[in-house]
Structure 1
């Protein structure tokens, strides 16, 4: 619509310029120019200590569209679009873009760390991020670019979360449901229970006014979109799901979990015999098994699928995908309880 409005305006301006030429009145569009971009730092070392502090800011002057007869022929204030571009290459052959409506942008240590990790920077290693501002007035016109800012960033390894305000958390101002990136590398996961048509978004912080908010692309439900044009994310069906989000690839996915099953030598390693039941109020999966043989231990399979087998590498009650068999010390009847409600750590108990 902006492009159409601008096209009509420019066409009108041309016609008016032609019709007014005899009177000496030519409509001229101005203010579309290369922006001047400034930054408050050139080198930032990030850590847990400065994660909550403002560590970096960008400011720019992108100009303001106007014409010689603006009192007679106005132009939309939204015709000029400014977009920050971030890249690890000075050619900007691959970019991460964020549309901005103001003339500045500030980052806390945590927000800048999330940005650096989303660009693929390694923790503990200094690397350069190239930043510029793109100014556009229509899809069929050539964009203009600002000067390039070079920022050296050293990201830190952190357990990062994406919060999920909306129906899953009980409101758009609540952040009780979340997924976790245990390596802080932009790849998140977690288990959630959802009803059909539940809506939500992902946010990097427990706030609607800071951090980065990810919705879905208007053209692809499973493509993450951090622009002002983003839509809500929703579930087409209800159930219990493994949610994954990747802020590097800007994708998210859900896998419906139809059940969890305990398998081992005691049931011939059958993947679908000993089914666990889910208590929605307590958010716990439970099953009671008569384990007669214990030599090789047990595994817990999601959907009875060996590709989704959970074990315990450290014998500490923490479940990991592809982990070692869970040790059972002696034959007996055991109640096995699994808690997947905390995406930072999946746990189990055996009694």
Structure 2
């Protein structure tokens, strides 16, 4: 019996040693057990947040929660999720991950997540937020927190747009050039488009896509700049490059043809007396010229006249209608590009060859 006791004691020690090492290698799976999920405590459910582009990098809010309980000393990971209120997180938006008990969002981060979840810019809407805890490397033993609902008013810095499909591009709204409004909620659209013979205007759907079946406008049949959205006619044009203006509230439009663009100024070989014609490239939707310039000044103007010209007030690389003369940095041979393809964000480049 004494010898048996010694063997039993040795065997038990071996079992204890193996068991200890097994637990050490994977403590989370062997020892830890979920006893209670994290609990969101801040912000309070019902909090309202109005986000702002002017404060994009400022903290909008900080989530704080109580630790999840796994009945063990183990590292816990937390994943934050957001969803449009009432959707039961059917399509959750990832809001960030951390090993802490808090997570801060800047205005921009929360705005991006809210828009992705389905909120509309400048319209208050409810977003549900929850935290999911887990342990180990495989997101094991997940526990889900309580859900809080926060009322959020997001923003957008993207200008609203309408498309201009026509026979200049195969009547395909999805790939058509666009016009942009001056700000969100405005109805004054403008932009430059190469036209052939007929075109129309198409609004985006709720997801921002352009397609037939959306609201669209054409001429009322008088061809005097009046738009209608029912029983409309295609708007006529002669081939050329146009500056289009559309007001979808007052239902008016205008089309001014500016097909000839040139470079003029004291920095050009012809001075301020005449233009140096630029060439249009339909593939890039830009005008360009390769030319010798002196370290002086230039501007862009249309149709060999001063009624329509662009400079650069503030020397920021963005064109302003009637803006300041553009300084040429040094004498040399340049490739100059005039780019009207992005509505209301007209630009140019001077590249020394």
With normalisation by structure 2, the TM-score equals 0.50
Which whole-Å deviations, capped at 9, do the CAs of 1:244-288 have from their partners, x for residues lacking one? 112243211111123111111233312x33111112223221112
1:109 Cα deviation from its structure 2 partner? 5.0
1:158 Cα deviation from its structure 2 partner? 5.6
Which whole-Å deviations, capped at 9, do the CAs of 1:1-37 have from their partners, x for residues lacking one? xxxxxxxxxxxxxxxxxxxxxxxxxxxxxxxxxxxxx
1:290 paired residue number = 292
1:306 Cα deviation from its structure 2 partner? 1.8
Aligned with residue 234 of structure 1, among 229, 233, 236: 236
1:275 paired residue number = 277
1:177 paired residue number = 177
Instruction: Tell me whether 1:217 sits opposite 2:216 in the alignment.
Output: no
Q: Distance in 1 between matches of 2:283 and 2:343?
A: 17
Q: How many residues align?
A: 205
Which whole-Å deviations, capped at 9, do the CAs of 1:30-86 have from their partners, x for residues lacking one? xxxxxxxxxxxxxxx9999xxxx9xxxxxxxxxxxxxxxxxxxxxxxxxxxxxxxxx
Q: Conserved in 1, the CA contact under 8 Å of 2:165 and 2:200?
A: yes
Q: Distance in 1 between matches of 2:310 and 2:289?
A: 15
Going from structure 1 to structure 2, the CA distance change for 1:279 and 1:207 (only over 3 Å counts) comes to closer
Going from structure 1 to structure 2, the CA distance change for 1:175 and 1:279 (only over 3 Å counts) comes to closer
1:310 Cα deviation from its structure 2 partner? 0.7
Q: Distance in 2 between matches of 1:160 and 1:224?
A: 19
Secondary structure, aligned partner of 1:219: coil
Q: Distance in 2 between matches of 1:192 and 1:46?
A: 35
Secondary structure, aligned partner of 1:265: coil
Question: Whose Rg is larger?
Answer: 2
Q: Distance in 2 between matches of 1:233 and 1:319?
A: 28
1:15 paired residue number = none
Gaps of 5+ in 1: 1-44, 54-107, 114-154
Going from structure 1 to structure 2, the CA distance change for 1:250 and 1:309 (only over 3 Å counts) comes to same
2:34 paired residue number = none
RMSD: 3.5
Deviates further, 214-223 or 274-283: 214-223
Q: Distance in 2 between matches of 1:221 and 1:174?
A: 27
Q: Distance in 2 between matches of 1:215 and 1:273?
A: 36
1:322 Cα deviation from its structure 2 partner? 1.8
**Structure 1 runs of 4+ off > 6 angstroms?**
45-48
Q: Distance in 2 between matches of 1:192 and 1:241?
A: 5
Q: Conserved in 2, the CA contact under 8 Å of 1:168 and 1:200?
A: no
Going from structure 1 to structure 2, the CA distance change for 1:200 and 1:209 (only over 3 Å counts) comes to closer
How does 1:1-351 map onto structure 2 within 5 Å?
Answer: 109=120, 159-184=159-184, 185-195=186-196, 197-205=197-205, 206-208=209-211, 212-226=215-229, 228-235=230-237, 237-266=238-267, 267-270=270-273, 272-294=274-296, 297-351=297-351
Q: Distance in 2 between matches of 1:322 and 1:311?
A: 6
Gaps of 5+ in 2: 1-49, 54-83, 85-118, 124-154
